[in-house]
Structure 1
Amino acid sequence: MTTTAHPPVLVLGGTGTIGHRVVAQLLDRGLPARAASRHTDPPLNWADPTTWDAALDGAERIYLLLPDDVDLPDGFLDRARAAGVRRVVLHSDRAVDLMNVTRLQGAERAVRASGLEWTIIRPDWFAQNFETFFRDGIVGGRLCMPVGEAKQGFVDGDDIAAVAVKALTTDAHLGEVLEITGPTALSFREATALIADAIGRPVEFDGTPQAYREQMLAVGLPEEAVEGLIQSFAPVAEAGDTHPTGVVEAVLGRPARPFADYVAAAAARGVWQ
């Protein structure tokens, strides 16, 4: 059953890779939506509870994507419910348990216990990471990630946003955890090779911890931080190949976007020039 939400959907994290797509897709459907962050009007600062009420005012549904390294503050969901929010879609991560991401594990527990209608989405690696976090490596001709040759479920940001919008605007996935992948699994080496073909120049991939360590130290990341990252990625390498879940296809009734299609479009936009 499709429901119509005249009050605006509040998109927390609404200026980021996925959040701004959620806003755009809601608006394209004629549904009011507004992003909230420290830089919006009104602002929302997770560390300042005095900013929460103004940001929540008038919203019945929220898309909740926490900034990196920010825990969901105690009391926020209670405040949201008191303000009239009745549904939350939490953006978590497919590796939340594999990598022991405690802040997202805590957020998932809080959402389940909130008394609100809820859906949790757990996307795999964003395809768009190759034009943000991994862009410098691609442009420099050498991408290092300490995940070995394990295949990953790279998924397009528009597909993630579309699943989130479906969860926000229909009752079809209440109380579900949706693990979102692309249509096929690829190793970082295979993904990098597709990008190299599209841009017409070689891009080396090295999946060893030592190569990642050397590259991160060379750009000035503290040694302690680098070792922590290597340790956190180790379970990804150890887990081996992922398997596509088919969630995009099941939720949206259409194929998920192949990584090669994303690469062709991104190369045409010149993101790796």
Structure 2
Amino acid sequence: MSTTGTTLVIGATGTTGSRTVAQLAAAGHRVKAAGRRGAPVAGGEPVRFDWYEPATHAAALAGTDRVYLIPPLGDPDPAAVMLPFLRQALQAGVRRAVLLSSSAIAMGGPAVGAVHQALPRLFEQWAVLRPSWFMQNFTGAHTHARSIRDEGVIRTATEGGRVGFIDAEDIAGVAVRALTDGQAPNTDLVLTGPEALSHDDIAAIITDITGRPVVHHRLSYEQVRDRLATQMPAEFAALLAGMDRAIADGAEDRITDTVQRLTGRPPRPFRALAEKELQGSPRPGRYRSATP
């Protein structure tokens, strides 16, 4: 790896942001850890940053030469706030930008796809990380994890479609290389775990590890869309439900060698992560009855 200046990590308290800060710091790199409250993050210098408060942007950018970009959560048009920031970042001396997108969203696609399209025109050094769905969706604070803990249920419109679920630690590992290697990737990188699994497979693995029954309830696109619309803007709910439908059609049934190729180590399989994070939990009697 090359010696770098300072990396600004936006969303530094989040699933991939916190891990990216930790891995950068462990490798000896200087990090500014940006979040809406400027909360302390292990390994980084905390700095307040809010996509929707431009007054916080200049101080966050000061002294940085590269940036890890996590789009504003739930915004169906993140380019509206991200592109002005990226132009400001370029003027402030940032030379490399690494964007977190999704395997489900191609360059020029909806939402963050528009930022992906603009990034190569703004920066000579860049990368777009397009990870598959996070394994942590089933173990952290995500809706799936909560329904697993509370009801023993995973609800999706994915039918039997398979996904190359990926550990957020592996995403962060690729992010660190994309940010700090002497040569920037200058491309988009589709990231997956080592195997493609259906949500039925995920439910079976969690059942086996925890000893508590977990089932996958197959909902329609409309049912998923309407459930999500109670938690987020309707347009974004429809986008996420549409991703479930794409999974059902086979869009995510693939694995790539990107993690191995960039980090030099194989991606972690879901069973290994679940054994670490779920073994011994939930406690007996935790689940209520499972209803669709």
Normalising by structure 1, report the TM-score: 0.89
Choose the corresponding residue for 1:61, options 51, 60, 66. Answer: 66
Match of 2:148 in 1: 138
Matched ranges for 1:74-113 at <5 A:
74-97=83-106, 102-113=110-121
SS at match of 2:138: helix
Please say if residues 65 and 90 of structure 1, whose CA atoms lie closer than 8 Å, have aligned partners that are also in contact: yes
Identity of aligned residues (%): 33
Shift of 1:234: 1.7
Choose the corresponding residue for 2:131, options 123, 137, 146. Answer: 123
Residue 232 to residue 251, structure 1, CA distance change in 2 (3 Å): closer
Match of 1:26 in 2: 24
Please say if residues 23 and 35 of structure 1, whose CA atoms lie closer than 8 Å, have aligned partners that are also in contact: yes
Choose the corresponding residue for 2:259, options 206, 226, 248. Answer: 248
Structure 2 residues without counterparts, runs of 5 or longer: 39-45, 287-292
1:144-176, Cα deviation, whole Å (9 max, x unpaired): 111111110100110000000011110344212
Please say if residues 26 and 32 of structure 1, whose CA atoms lie closer than 8 Å, have aligned partners that are also in contact: yes
Q: Distance in 1 between matches of 2:23 and 2:53?
A: 29
Please say if residues 67 and 98 of structure 2, whose CA atoms lie closer than 8 Å, have aligned partners that are also in contact: yes
Letter of the 1:4 counterpart: T
SS at match of 2:64: coil
Q: Distance in 2 between matches of 1:115 and 1:220?
A: 38
Q: Distance in 1 between matches of 2:51 and 2:236?
A: 27
Choose the corresponding residue for 2:178, options 167, 171, 193. Answer: 167
Deviates more, 1:183-192 or 1:164-173: 164-173
Deviates more, 1:158-167 or 1:236-245: 236-245
Please say if residues 185 and 242 of structure 1, whose CA atoms lie closer than 8 Å, have aligned partners that are also in contact: yes
Work out whether 1:180 is the aligned partner of 2:191: yes
Please say if residues 216 and 226 of structure 1, whose CA atoms lie closer than 8 Å, have aligned partners that are also in contact: no
Residue 75 to residue 199, structure 1, CA distance change in 2 (3 Å): same
Match of 1:208 in 2: 219
Match of 2:290 in 1: none
Residue 270 to residue 169, structure 1, CA distance change in 2 (3 Å): farther
1:83-128, Cα deviation, whole Å (9 max, x unpaired): 1111011111000039x85221111012111034101110000100
Query: How many residue pairs are counted as aligned between the two chains?
Result: 269
Match of 1:233 in 2: 244
Letter of the 1:3 counterpart: S
Please say if residues 133 and 163 of structure 2, whose CA atoms lie closer than 8 Å, have aligned partners that are also in contact: yes
Shift of 1:240: 5.2
Residue 255 to residue 223, structure 1, CA distance change in 2 (3 Å): closer
Q: Distance in 2 between matches of 1:169 and 1:223?
A: 36
Q: Distance in 1 between matches of 2:117 and 2:234?
A: 30
Residue 59 to residue 157, structure 1, CA distance change in 2 (3 Å): same
Please say if residues 69 and 103 of structure 1, whose CA atoms lie closer than 8 Å, have aligned partners that are also in contact: no
Residue 43 to residue 256, structure 1, CA distance change in 2 (3 Å): same
Please say if residues 160 and 199 of structure 2, whose CA atoms lie closer than 8 Å, have aligned partners that are also in contact: yes
SS at match of 2:246: helix
RMSD: 2.7
Residue 125 to residue 223, structure 1, CA distance change in 2 (3 Å): closer
SS at match of 2:126: strand
Q: Distance in 1 between matches of 2:13 and 2:106?
A: 26
Q: Distance in 1 between matches of 2:233 and 2:224?
A: 8
Residue 67 to residue 214, structure 1, CA distance change in 2 (3 Å): closer
